[in-house]
Amino acid sequence: MDANARVLVVDDEPMVRDVLSRYLERNGFEVDAAADGEGALAAFDARRPDLVLLDLMLPRVDGFEVFRQIRARADSPVIMITARGETTDRIVGLDVGADDYISKPFSPGEVVARVRSVLRRTSTVPEPHGESEEVLDFSGLELDPRSREVCIDGAPLSLTPKEFDLLLHFASSPRTVFSRLQLLDGVWDVAFDGDPATVTVHIRRLREKIEADPSHPRRLVTVWGVGYRFDP
């Protein structure tokens, strides 16, 4: 997916835009850049990127609103860029469905690693855990690893790429208990800097979509003091 993949870099700091753009181009990516929210949305509409690097602190239209409008248009993966220590922004970003976040200051090499990681996860079915390519059917909950589609009783669900990866990870090992750190390692990867709250947020969002009563889940079950398991 790296070859000729297009990345939209959105940041109001000219030096950050320039450094990220040049470093991504050197690594084989095509790059568009924008300095504010309105410019980001115009660039997104003009040439739909394969991934968006989105700073949250933008003039005119803030990063969260840009993210919401991008997701209203397409499911393009988004990596949010936050200021160092802005934990609330990171959690909110993950809560609304961002695929990853990275904190300033960062190294350009780390950003490229994150971009490649997210593109791999969102463009192909993960293979490390031996997931079957057959459709998985659990009493009306169906997952198709090839098409990355999920249905409940025949009705399609709208999942973010990361939500699908997490659900597939669980469904490929029913009744296996995973800790949050195991899920970070298995569903995210070594390029992700590993905030366990990420898992908590994504579990909650998945429950809201696949459980009849998210407050009393029957499929994604909490094993207190250990982690979570998927009950078919």
pLDDT above 70 for 66: yes
For the domain spanning 136-230, the CATH number is 1.10.10.10
Given this model, what pLDDT does residue 139 score? 84
Count of CB atoms situated within 10 Å of the CB of 120? 14
Q: Is the alpha carbon torsion for 127, 132, 138, 143 positive or negative?
A: positive
Q: How sure is the predictor about 50, in pLDDT bands with cuts at 50, 70 and 90?
A: very high
Given this model, what pLDDT does residue 190 score? 46
DSSP string, 104-140: ES--HHHHHHHHHHHHHHHHS---TT---SSPEEETT
> Whole-angstrom Cα distance, residue 104 to residue 86?
10
Place of tokens 């790429």: 161
* Tokens coding 30: 């095509």
Q: Rounded to 5 degrees, what angle do the CA atoms 50, 52, 131 make?
A: 55
Tell me if 99 sits within 8 A of 93, measured CB to CB: no
SS3 98: coil
Label the pairing between strands 78-83 and 100-104.
Answer: parallel
According to DSSP, the residues that pair with 144 across neighbouring strands are: 149
Given this model, what pLDDT does residue 167 score? 92
Tell me if 214 sits within 8 A of 203, measured CB to CB: no
Tell me the fold of 6-123. Answer: Rossmann fold (3.40.50)
Count of CB atoms situated within 10 Å of the CB of 43? 18
Label the pairing between strands 30-34 and 51-55.
Answer: unpaired
The string of pLDDT tens digits covering residues 80-108 is: 888 755 555 555 556 667 888 888 888 88
Given this model, what pLDDT does residue 194 score? 55
Average pLDDT of span 116-143: 69
* Tokens coding 47: 């040439």
The string of pLDDT tens digits covering residues 1-46 is: 455 789 999 999 999 999 999 989 988 899 999 999 999 999 999 9
Per-domain residue ranges for the chain?
6-123, 136-230
